Amino acid sequence: MIQGFRGELANASSVLIGTHLNPDGDALGSALAMSLYLDSIGIDNEVLCHHPAPKNLQFLPGVKRIRQHPKGEKHDLAIMLDLDSLDRLGSTEPYFSECPRLIVIDHHVPHEAPGNLRIVETSAAATAVILAQLLEAVGAKITPEMATCLLTGIVTDTGSFRFRNTNPESLAVSSLLLEKGGDLTQVNEEIFQSKQLSAARLLGHTLETMQLACNDQLAWSALSIRDFDFAKATDEDTEGFVNEMLFITSVQIAAIFREPKPGRIRCSLRSRSQYDVAEVAREFGGGGHKNAAGCTFDLTLEEAEDLVVERLKRCLASC
């Protein structure tokens, strides 16, 4: 696999790096670390993402290089990180489909398996863990900037080392990244302690209007366009809200439904260990991990809510 990675890079003169839409810290941290690495070995590259970096990830070293469209030249290698299917590339998908070679570096359970070289480990806490190990294996010089990007991926996907995916491997890799000069304090402050006032108000509304079922084991809340307008908030401000519901002692499964634009509903699902919400998300055309998944609907808020809540009740009953 390492030889394969080296070989692909040796034959590449220009690399297109991509990640999933609605990018999180693992998506952008991994993509930017890869870009900084390619810079360091003199390989021309650019980073594409359907959405620009959210506010709380603007601190990432190299963030300004993220573009929605390539500068126009042809690329002979594509590398996509932290996603398991091409359609999650959103509007950048055609640029990746055009590339003659594709490397996938990811930790999701694959439901498609694109790519000429796949470096996929579903047991890894974050794509950034896999990438940090890969960079070490190829003898890369991990700079403090790269280390901060990779730490951001691990901190995001482990909820700052609190989720069940926190394991000896993710801690060991994080320790190495600290040694390389990664700024863990900055990462934690930027990601967890930089809430916009609008987001705090919207979180209040989310918890205030939260609904419960199945002996308070199922919690969900819905945010309409009017709610967003009223709080002067955007969809990216809702990051982490669904976890706040899951952290209530009785709650085993939590869902949040958002209507960031009319007729388009985003749903995020979170569950405690034994419940598999990825399976539920996949039934609705989405995906993710067993305990953190999501899907999108072209329905009204109420319709999406009815469909998913009904299915989640069955999920709870079957365990």
Closest distance to ligand 5GP from the beta carbon of 41 (Å) = 29
Place of tokens 């930089």: 194
Min dist CB 304 to Mn ion, Å, is 24
Tokens of 243: 């976890």
Q: Kindly tell me which of 51 and 289 has the beta carbon lying closer to ligand 5GP.
A: 289
- Scan residues 100-129 and list those touching ligand 5GP (CB under 6 A): none
Q: Which stretch binds ligand 5GP (CB under 6 A): 38-46, 123-131, 190-198, 280-288?
A: 280-288
Of 101 and 272, which CB lies nearer to ligand 5GP in the complex structure? 272
Among 28, 294, 301, 309, binds ligand 5GP (CB under 6 A): 294
Give min distance, CB of 25 to Mn ion, in A: 8
Find the shortest distance in angstroms from Cβ 267 to ligand 5GP. 8
Residue 26, contacted partner among ligand 5GP, Mn ion, none, CB below 5-8 A by kind: Mn ion
| Contact of 291 with 315, CB cutoff 8 Å | no
Of 23, 25, 61, 287, which lies in the binding site for ligand 5GP, with binding defined by CB under 6 A? 287
Stretch that binds ligand 5GP, among 72-80, 91-99, 139-147, 288-296 (CB under 6 A): 288-296
Considering CB distances under 5 to 8 angstroms, the limit depending on partner class, which of Mn ion, ligand 5GP, none binds residue 51?
none
Phi and psi at residue 156, to the nearest 5°:
-60, -50
CB of 224 or CB of 296, closer to ligand 5GP: 296
Quote the CA–CA distance of 133 and 129 in Å, as a whole number.
6
Nearer to Mn ion, 228 or 287 (CB): 287
User: What does the angle CA 93 – CA 97 – CA 98 come to, to the nearest 5 degrees?
Assistant: 120
CB of 80 to Mn ion, least distance (A): 12
CB of residue 233 to Mn ion, shortest distance in Å: 24
Q: Which residues bind Mn ion (CB under 5 A)?
A: 26, 82, 126-127, 157
For residue 147, the tally of other CB atoms under 10 A from its CB is 25
Strands 287-289 and 44-48: unpaired
How far apart are the C-alpha atoms of 118 and 107, rounded to whole Å? 11
Q: Residue 70 or 90: which CB sits closer to Mn ion?
A: 90
Torsional sign, CA 145, 151, 153, 159? negative
Say if CB 304 and CB 276 are below 8 A apart. Answer: no
Residue 288's binding partner, choosing from Mn ion, ligand 5GP, none, with beta-carbon cut-off 5 to 8 A by kind?
ligand 5GP
Residue 108's Cβ-side half-sphere holds a number of Cα atoms within 13 Å equal to 27
Cα–Cα distance, 100 to 169 (Å, whole number)? 33
Spatial separation of the C-alpha atoms in residues 195 and 126, rounded to whole Å = 23
- Min dist CB 162 to ligand 5GP, Å, is 15
Q: Which of 66, 126, 131, 293 binds ligand 5GP (CB under 6 A)?
A: 293
Please tell me whether residue 292 binds ligand 5GP under the rule CB under 6 A: yes
Q: In terms of CB distance, is 18 or 288 closer to ligand 5GP?
A: 288
Non-local (6+) Cβ contacts of 236 within 8 A are: 54, 55, 56
The stretches of 18-126 forming alpha helices (DSSP H) are 25-40, 93-97
Sign of the C-alpha dihedral, residues 256, 260, 265, 266?
negative
Count CB-CB contacts under 10 A for residue 313.
15
What residues make contact with ligand 5GP under the rule CB under 6 A?
20, 22, 85, 88, 268, 286-289, 292-296
